[in-house]
Chain A
């Protein structure tokens, strides 16, 4: 039971983790992107289109790795295009970030539902098997064997996107905190004026970070549709709610990738917790508020204890206009 719960928490948390990592990169350059739910939907839509394209090209032959590749590629491209719209509007055209983000959410969610409901979804469950393929572990016996099996089920029973997400957390940590590029990125987030005066291409970095971040966030949508829900819930997907919680998770993680990884498992655990409690169907409905209430509590606590190392990038939410120095 505990093993199933922990494994479920990780596999649920990955949805939040992708979006959280993507949004972290975007916020590091000083842009608060409220379009994450829409971008995740665009990612899911892109993945679906990519996979249908795969079946159109290769027919019924299942080459797992290619299916996953098509899914990831198209998902990132579509989500990246969403990011491009957002960055064009906010970076080049100085549009209000909150409004642009909300418009992007309206557009992305709408587009996914509109195109998705007119799409051939019959092959998605089959395709999702390629995403879900875990590592096959042996079947040892005895006490140690049980522990080994539990360990494998919690950590090694997942699909490839789960490992990719945690690998990304490590990569993003290294890039943002240990390289010169990361230093530039953080400098732009703290003070774009200073960064600009040092010859850093503020707009270029903003564009790249927002587009890459959006691409990563889009994988969250892809993962939800094709791994977590097994390709069965495409249009009815609750991606929008996940998106908002991921934005909250970025605050909870204090803009740090590793904390984001731990937080996402926590959020995932909270989401699936009611299923593991001995309660009736009616009570299950009321327990659905649990993740949101906890998010609120997290928001309140992070705002009460605002420490120096847990502050958002200083220019977050403010557009940079060169002539305004």
Chain B
């Protein structure tokens, strides 16, 4: 230790916080970093796939735009997940449980669809009633799933990150158990429910199966944006997130705000779960809630800006659809190339955040000899 203090050492560079933010600069840094990550992803896929670049890229683009409505739906679903976790995140409540919330709500809808399907098919009125019942049960179950960890967080300060993660796995186990029960222990999955008489299925819009879901999610996004920026509730959540001390000082009931915000989150994921069950998949499997983690990351890294989120979602949906084509065309055996790329993109955005927020100044090197003498 002593030897070190005798020498005067200047660090190679000094880092300081930036006070000037330029939009153009930020965009440029992000663009460079994301392109770099895509390049790395391309190199990894070239090593594994061992095919010319042109073939891989053409498969990627063909796969992505093969079914435009699927691409749009995936974008919207991801956006829906992302927007559903925003209110909780604005108050720095790390809700990792979007997966579980969507799973239980889709599960409750599918169970109703399965057991009341015959009753619902008897008349048009019954069918409408069934859909309403499914909607209600989806919302309720999702809210329950979201609020349990919130209550413990508010009352005892229980770590919500791990609690909500465990709730995800409990939901997964429930889904596989109830699938087993519905098929009387014969199959892993119940399959598409009511595929004959379409009872409990949401009506199509403009002749497209997905259009209704897309419209609803766009409305959801608008609502959450309004809620967070224009209402008192949203403002309180943001204050709690920025400084819990300030919130308490000005007399906000932080526990109440936590629980209220998580009820909202539960309602939003409940809607998504209902859409999965009634309008999109008409079944429930363990993969139903799989978008939750990506949603958490993208909403954080888009700075909760709904427009940026929509763009990122489109890009990620493009990658997911495209890479799934790449995987099937080159017989890769697994569909996880998209996750590798998404991980790399998130890393690169994290790196670019640093260059946007901090300034690096290189110091002049002082020669060692001069100092030690």
Do A and B share a complex? Answer: yes
A residues within 8 A CB of B1?
A: 199
Q: Are A296 and B163 in contact (CB under 8 A)?
A: yes
Q: Tell me the minimal C-beta distance from B58 to chain A in angstroms.
A: 20
B140-158 interface (Cβ within 8 A of A): 152, 156-158
Other-chain contact of A118, B167, B174, B333, B342 (Cβ < 8 Å): B333
Q: A103-B297, A113-B339, A199-B1 are contacts. A303–B177 as well, Cβ < 8 Å? A: no
Q: Are A108 and B343 in contact (CB under 8 A)?
A: yes
A residues within 8 A CB of B169?
A: 241, 244, 289, 292
Task: Convert B147-186 into 0s and 1s, putting 1 for each residue whose CB lies closer than 8 angstroms to a CB of A.
Answer: 0000010001111011101110110011011001100010
How many Å lie between the Cα of A217 and that of B250 in the bound state? Answer: 44
B residues within 8 A CB of A98?
A: 94, 161
B residues within 8 A CB of A116?
A: 334
A1 in the interface, Cβ–Cβ < 8 Å? no
Q: Are B16 and A323 in contact (CB under 8 A)?
A: yes
B residues within 8 A CB of A300?
A: 152, 156, 158, 163
Q: A98-B161, A292-B166 are contacts. A282–B185 as well, Cβ < 8 Å? A: yes
- With both beta carbons as reference points, the residue of chain B lying nearest to A112 in the complex is identified as B336
A99 in the interface, Cβ–Cβ < 8 Å? yes
Task: Convert B301-325 into 0s and 1s, putting 1 for each residue whose CB lies closer than 8 angstroms to a CB of A.
Answer: 1000000000000000000000000
- With both beta carbons as reference points, the residue of chain A lying nearest to B346 in the complex is identified as A103
How many Å lie between the Cα of A303 and that of B163 in the bound state? Answer: 11
A288 in the interface, Cβ–Cβ < 8 Å? yes
Other-chain contact of A107, B48, B177, B343 (Cβ < 8 Å): B343
- With both beta carbons as reference points, the residue of chain B lying nearest to A199 in the complex is identified as B1
Other-chain contact of B156, A85, A199, A235, A304 (Cβ < 8 Å): A304
Which of B104-112, B273-281, B347-355 forms part of the interface with chain A? B347-355
Chain A facing B: main interface SS: helix
B residues within 8 A CB of A24?
A: none
Which of B169, B351, B354 is most buried by chain A, counting CB atoms within 10 A of its CB? Answer: B169
Q: Are A110 and B343 in contact (CB under 8 A)?
A: yes
B residues within 8 A CB of A95?
A: 350-351, 353-354
A68 in the interface, Cβ–Cβ < 8 Å? no
Q: Are A102 and B296 in contact (CB under 8 A)?
A: yes
Other-chain contact of A285, B162, B173, B358 (Cβ < 8 Å): B173
A residues within 8 A CB of B346?
A: 99, 103, 106-107
Q: A114-B337, A289-B170 are contacts. A93–B350 as well, Cβ < 8 Å? A: yes
Q: Are B176 and A117 in contact (CB under 8 A)?
A: no
Other-chain contact of B159, A89, A286, A299 (Cβ < 8 Å): A299
A209 in the interface, Cβ–Cβ < 8 Å? no
B371 in the interface, Cβ–Cβ < 8 Å? no
Q: Are B162 and A251 in contact (CB under 8 A)?
A: yes
How many Å lie between the Cα of A248 and that of B294 in the bound state? Answer: 21
B132 in the interface, Cβ–Cβ < 8 Å? no
Q: Are A114 and B300 in contact (CB under 8 A)?
A: no
B293 in the interface, Cβ–Cβ < 8 Å? yes
A283-325 interface (Cβ within 8 A of B): 285-286, 288-289, 292-293, 295-296, 299-300, 303-304, 306, 323
Q: Are B351 and A299 in contact (CB under 8 A)?
A: no
Task: Convert B282-299 into 0s and 1s, putting 1 for each residue whose CB lies closer than 8 angstroms to a CB of A.
Answer: 000000000001101100
Q: Tell me the minimal C-beta distance from B192 to chain A in angstroms.
A: 21
Q: Are B339 and A106 in contact (CB under 8 A)?
A: yes
Q: Tell me the minimal C-beta distance from A31 to chain B in angstroms.
A: 14
A residues within 8 A CB of B12?
A: none
A residues within 8 A CB of B173?
A: 285-286, 288-289, 292
A115 in the interface, Cβ–Cβ < 8 Å? yes
Chain B facing A: main interface SS: helix
Q: Are A235 and B334 in contact (CB under 8 A)?
A: yes
Q: Are B162 and A299 in contact (CB under 8 A)?
A: yes
A111 in the interface, Cβ–Cβ < 8 Å? yes
Q: Are A96 and B300 in contact (CB under 8 A)?
A: yes
Q: Are B170 and A99 in contact (CB under 8 A)?
A: no
A residues within 8 A CB of B185?
A: 280-282
A residues within 8 A CB of B350?
A: 89, 93, 95-96, 99-100, 103
A34 in the interface, Cβ–Cβ < 8 Å? yes
B53 in the interface, Cβ–Cβ < 8 Å? no
Q: Are A293 and B181 in contact (CB under 8 A)?
A: no
Q: Tell me the minimal C-beta distance from A214 to chain B in angstroms.
A: 15
A247 in the interface, Cβ–Cβ < 8 Å? yes
A104 in the interface, Cβ–Cβ < 8 Å? yes
A105 in the interface, Cβ–Cβ < 8 Å? yes
- With both beta carbons as reference points, the residue of chain B lying nearest to A111 in the complex is identified as B340
How many Å lie between the Cα of A8 and that of B242 in the bound state? Answer: 47
Q: Tell me the minimal C-beta distance from B14 to chain A in angstroms.
A: 8
Q: A99-B301, A303-B157 are contacts. A110–B165 as well, Cβ < 8 Å? A: no
Task: Convert B176-216 into 0s and 1s, putting 1 for each residue whose CB lies closer than 8 angstroms to a CB of A.
Answer: 11001100010000000000000000000000000000000
How many Å lie between the Cα of A116 and that of B344 in the bound state? Answer: 18
Beyond A118-B334, A281-B180, 14 additional pairs, beta carbon < 8 A: A95-B353, A96-B350, A102-B296, A103-B297, A107-B340, A110-B342, A114-B337, A114-B340, A235-B333, A244-B162, A288-B173, A292-B166, A296-B163, A303-B159
> Chain B interface (Cβ within 8 Å of chain A)?
1, 5, 15-17, 48, 94, 96, 152, 156-159, 161-163, 165-167, 169-170, 173-174, 176-177, 180-181, 185, 293-294, 296-297, 300-301, 332-334, 336-340, 342-344, 346-347, 350-351, 353-354, 357-358
Q: Can you show 17 pairs from A to B with CB atoms below 8 A apart?
A: A93-B354, A94-B354, A94-B358, A102-B293, A104-B343, A110-B336, A110-B337, A111-B339, A116-B334, A117-B332, A244-B166, A292-B166, A292-B169, A300-B163, A303-B152, A303-B159, A304-B156
> Chain A interface (Cβ within 8 Å of chain B)?
34, 38, 85, 89, 93-96, 98-100, 102-111, 113-118, 199, 235, 241, 244-245, 247-248, 251, 280-282, 285-286, 288-289, 292-293, 295-296, 299-300, 303-304, 306, 323
Top 7 nearest A-B pairs by Cβ distance? A107-B343, A110-B339, A117-B334, A103-B346, A93-B354, A117-B333, A113-B336
